[in-house]
């Protein structure tokens, strides 16, 4: 049975962090010489990191594919390229400042087969870093967020950090191979998970198996971004698919009012 996992990693001008992320994939307990882990690194128009890639030679259980974008396409565009290049039966997204804990891929794959599931998702720690004279230092770790799955609830709030779900090629095919919206600079992953959730159930695994870094000086990609415009896009795109439309509309509009927006101004 094909058990090949494709791990898709966009990167942009963070070579030291990329090496840390790749180390976490190479350190995975999952090893299958018939279906090696396929690691797809998409350099999104940033500085050359081929020297880092070359430190990780292809082995019987690991292989790296490296693709260089001529221009920066953003996270959505880079992940879309990764999905197009992937040959695995299962997909995982991993940002270049995130890490997988050693049992992550083996456990997720085992649970998918055990549950006969097409999508599972886990929990992540938020690893908060403070700036020091020599770089950054982890000062605190906490549970990132903890959301159950419900087809209506996911229309209101995201399911998990992007590194937590593992989904099958079948789940992606059933969404008609929905692509991340390259016009969205935030919440593109939430929009993508909603698309998959219309046809496929997300199975919740209450296990922490990855870490997302957060630098207190806000130098990560999401540090100073405005989420509001893309919330509006996502709400308008998907709210009509709700089972309980009144509940979803009221909940979405409450979120908008909380940040000072009149939903009616945007046709919501």
Other beta carbons within 10 angstroms of residue 232's beta carbon come to 18
Q: What is the model's pTM? A: 0.94
164 and 241 together in one domain: no
Give pLDDT tens digits for 60-69: 999 999 999 9
Domain housing 126: 5-225
In the block, residue with structure tokens 């070359």? 54
pLDDT given at position 223 = 46
183 and 142 together in one domain: yes
10 and 100 together in one domain: yes
231 and 244 together in one domain: yes
Q: What's the structural domain count of the chain?
A: 2
Percent of the chain whose pLDDT exceeds 90 = 87
Q: Single out the residue of 207, 192, 186 nearest to residue 120, CA to CA.
A: 207
pLDDT given at position 209 = 97
Q: Which helix (H) or strand (E) is 92 found in, with range?
A: strand 90-93
130 and 246 together in one domain: no
Give pLDDT tens digits for 110-165: 999 999 999 999 999 999 988 887 777 888 999 998 899 999 999 999 999 999 99
């Amino acid at each position: 049975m094909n058990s090949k996992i494709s791990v898709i990693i966009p990167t942009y001008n963070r070579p030291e962090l990329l090496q840390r992320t790749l180390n976490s994939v190479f350190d995975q307990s999952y090893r299958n010489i018939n279906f090696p882990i396929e690691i797809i690194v998409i350099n999104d128009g940033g500085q050359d990191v081929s020297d880092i890639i070359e430190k990780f030679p292809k082995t019987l259980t690991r292989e790296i594919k490296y693709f260089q974008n001529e221009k920066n396409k953003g996270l959505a565009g880079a992940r879309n390229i990764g999905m197009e290049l992937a040959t695995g039966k299962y997909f995982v997204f991993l940002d270049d400042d995130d890490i997988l804990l050693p049992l992550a891929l083996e456990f997720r794959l085992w649970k998918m087969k055990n549950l006969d599931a097409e999508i599972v998702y886990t929990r992540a720690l938020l690893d908060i870093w403070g700036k020091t004279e020599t770089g950054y230092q982890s000062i605190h770790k906490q549970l990132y967020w903890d959301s159950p799955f419900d087809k209506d609830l996911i229309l209101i709030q995201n399911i998990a950090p992007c590194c937590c779900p593992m989904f099958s090629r079948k789940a992606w095919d059933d969404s008609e191979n929905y692509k991340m919206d390259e016009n969205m600079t935030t919440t593109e992953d939430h929009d993508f998970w909603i698309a998959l959730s219309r046809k496929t159930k997300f199975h919740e695994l209450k296990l922490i198996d990855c870490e997302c870094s957060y630098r207190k000086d806000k130098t990560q990609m999401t540090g100073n971004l405005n989420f509001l415009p893309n919330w509006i896009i996502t709400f308008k795109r998907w709210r009509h698919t709700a089972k309980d439309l009144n509940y979803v509309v009221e909940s979405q509009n409450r979120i908008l009012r909380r940040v000072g927006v009149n939903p009616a101004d945007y046709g919501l």
